[in-house]
Amino acid sequence: MSLTGIIFGVGFFIVTQAQTSGFEEFFVKTILGTNGAIRIEDRFQDTMFYMRAAGAHTESKFEVASPREARKYIEGVEEPDAMMEALRKFQNVSGVSTVVEGSVVADSSFKNDTAKVMGIRLEDHLSVSDLAMQVARGSGSLEDFRNTPQGLLIGKVLADRLAVSVGDSIILRAGQEQRRYRISGIYSTGVSDIDRVRIYMHLGEARSLLKKTTGASFIQIALFDRKRAPQDAEKMEKIFRHSAKSWQEREESWLQAFSALQISAALTVSTIILISGLGMFNTLAMIVIEKTKEIAILRSMGYTRQDITRIFIWLGATVLVLGTIGGWILGYTVTYGVSKYPIKIRGIFSADTFQVYSTIWHYAIGTLTAAVVVMTAAIIPARRAAQLEPGDIIRGTSQ
């Protein structure tokens, strides 16, 4: 009973962690493949108010690190090419892309809709995003976009709303400017908020349409080690005096939600392990009561209190080892089965099956949880058994 409980507890712990991590991992991959690991946006200046305050306390010069609320921001990046050149020298940076962004109204023969244009250099942007894969998931081709100066890549949701397909023309209006473009491809990021508004076009064309002849709205950066994004962003912010946001900062609320879900699942499933531990505690406590005579006779033969404790610890350890191995097998099997289960998810990302992502840590934490519960359940009866006085027990039995 206790063994079965531990097997199910460890197994389900692994499964639930694999599921929640799977969706989180998929979300992160989607976000990184769409918006990059770091975005460098507006230039900032420390305000006079802040500089005075800092001087009053330090008696000397101004602090370099400044709180964001004490800054004045100037929109965009003024020298994107120089900044890109400098960014490429960062060891962890794998790609950089200049983006000019602006709002437009898209007119098709069917209807019009507001959209957001992103002017890019295709090759640069492919190095910081999964655009190639996103177009492959949609329709049309990158090759057509590459070779067509007036070509566009538009999101699937927007294409559906405008009732346009690859090869159709649409008119984009920005201020007084309006131009006709040809749809080279329809991409699908899986994030409906992006697919509904974003239109990619060539950088030069975007500058011309949006009347932004110099500078950039932001620079999108891809990293080799995505986990180091906050540290890299902080460093970039200090060096370039531009706001740099890591993906962790941008998606903080979603990541917190995933984290809460993961902890909640872990706590819920841990109750199975806890209940099994209580079952095991009861079983061992009963064994202590039933085996008092045997414990006494072992003590009379020269077995120490530690020896008696060890016997019960061994019992617990055996249940733990068998339970965790069984749990690993169950967890692995069910996780594999769940990963094949068809489910259609559209919204913050797009998936057609359950997303799972297992790491050695899920197995390790599940095992650790079981170890703490099982060994606690074993140690208490073990200590009780070891405290029994052989003379008292044998006297009680003889009378």
Q: Does 305 bind another protein (CB under 8 A)?
A: yes
* Cβ-based nearer residue to another protein, 252 or 389: 389
Closer residue to another protein, CB minimum distance, 177 or 290: 290
DSSP 228: G
* By the rule CB under 8 A, 398 interacts with another protein: yes
Nearer to another protein, 132 or 394 (CB): 394
**Given 132, 171, 266, 298, the residue binding another protein (CB under 8 A):** 298
Q: Does the footprint of another protein cover residue 297 (CB under 8 A)?
A: yes
The answer to whether 336 touches 313, Cβ cutoff 8 Å, is no
Q: Does 383 bind another protein (CB under 8 A)?
A: no
Shortest distance, CB of residue 14 to another protein, whole angstroms?
35
What's the closest the beta carbon of residue 396 comes to another protein, in angstroms? 11
**Least distance to another protein, CB of residue 294, Å:** 6
**Of the candidate residues 303, 326, 346, 384, the single one contacting another protein (CB under 8 A):** 303
**Choice from 165, 227, 293, 364 touching another protein (CB under 8 A):** 293
To 10 degrees, what angle do helices 252-290 and 2-35 make? 170
Kindly state whether residue 387 participates in binding another protein, applying the rule CB under 8 A.
no
Among 178, 256, 304, 318, binds another protein (CB under 8 A): 304
Binding residue (CB under 8 A) for another protein from 123, 177, 225, 389 = 389
Q: At 63, is the secondary structure helix, strand, or coil?
A: coil
- The end-to-end CA distance of the chain, in Å, is 36
Per rule CB under 8 A, is residue 198 in the interface with another protein? no
Q: What DSSP string describes 261-328?
A: HHHHHHHHHHHHHHHHHHHHHHHHHHHHHHTHHHHHHHHHTT--HHHHHHHHHHHHHHHHHHHHHHHH
What distance in Å separates the CA atoms of residue 206 and residue 208, rounded to the nearest whole number?
A: 5
Output 42 or 307, the one with its CB closest to another protein. 307
β-strands 177-187, 151-155: how paired? parallel
Joined together, the tokens standing for residue 283 give 């079983």
Q: Which residue of 300, 318, 333, 359 would you call a contact of another protein, by CB under 8 A?
A: 300
Which residue in the set 10, 106, 201, 296 belongs to the binding site for another protein (CB under 8 A)? 296
SS3 166: coil
Shortest approach of another protein to residue 273 CB, angstroms? 29
By CB under 8 A, name the one of 283, 307, 310, 326 that touches another protein: 307
DSSP H or E run through 91: none
Q: Does the protein bind another protein through residue 287 (CB under 8 A)? A: no
Q: In whole angstroms, how close is the CB of 386 to another protein at the nearest point?
A: 10
According to the binding rule CB under 8 A, does residue 301 interact with another protein?
A: yes
Q: Is the distance from CB of 214 to CB of 35 less than 8 angstroms?
A: no
How crowded is residue 237: how many other Cβ atoms within 10 Å of its Cβ? Answer: 20
What phi, psi does 89 have (nearest 5°)? -80, -10
Is residue 195 within 8 Å of residue 188, measured between CB atoms?
yes
Sole window of 13-21, 83-91, 229-237, 289-297 interacting with another protein (rule: CB under 8 A):
289-297
Q: Which of 72, 111, 227, 395 binds another protein (CB under 8 A)?
A: 395
Q: Which stretch binds another protein (CB under 8 A): 19-27, 253-261, 330-338, 383-391?
A: 383-391
Closer to another protein by CB, 305 or 346: give it: 305
Cβ at position 379, least distance to another protein in Å: 19
CA 249 distance to own-chain centroid = 12
Q: Classify residue 317 by burial, with Cβ atoms within 10 Å: 0-12, 13-18, 19+.
A: middle
Residues 6+ apart with CB under 8 A from 379: 309, 312, 313, 316
- Do 14 and 335 contact (CB within 8 A), yes or no? yes
Number of residues near another protein (by CB under 8 A): 21
288 lies in the binding site for another protein (CB under 8 A): no
Does residue 299 belong to the site contacting another protein (CB under 8 A)?
yes
Nearest residue (CB) to another protein, 176 versus 398: 398
Taking the C-alpha atoms of residue 16 and residue 269, their distance in angstroms, rounded to an integer, is 8
Element at 200 (helix H, strand E): strand 198-202
Query: Which chain residues interact with another protein by CB under 8 A?
Result: 293-294, 296-305, 307, 389-392, 394-395, 397-398
